[in-house]
Amino acid sequence: MTNQEKIMMIEEMLELEEGELNENIVLSDLAEWDSMAALSLIVLIDEEFEKKLTGKQIKEFKTVKDIMNFMES
């Protein structure tokens, strides 16, 4: 999966328009990044990557790139 495909998945999860995100975006700067987004991310990671993601791990994510790195790990 390419980085662009990962970004598109995150954009869709956050209900953003295509092209609104890049890997350097700080999550706390996004109005859409809230507790519901965190729950959606857990589901996305579980369904698409068959990985378990904890709340503690999510709190460590600072940028979109951090999420992408977790997807790759």
Mean per-residue pLDDT, 52-65 = 96
Q: Write out pLDDT tens, residues 4-20.
A: 999 999 999 999 999 99
Quote the CA–CA distance of 29 and 44 in Å, as a whole number. Answer: 21
Average pLDDT, the chain: 96
Q: In which domain, by residue range, is 14 found?
A: 3-72
pLDDT confidence band for 73 (50 / 70 / 90)? confident
What's the confidence (pLDDT) of residue 43?
Answer: 97
Q: Total domain count for the chain?
A: 1
What's the confidence (pLDDT) of residue 14?
Answer: 96
Residue 54 pLDDT greater than 90, yes or no: yes
The DSSP string of 14-59 is TTPPTTS--TT-BGGG-TT-SHHHHHHHHHHHHHHH-----HHHHH
Domain CATH number, residue 64:
1.10.1200.10
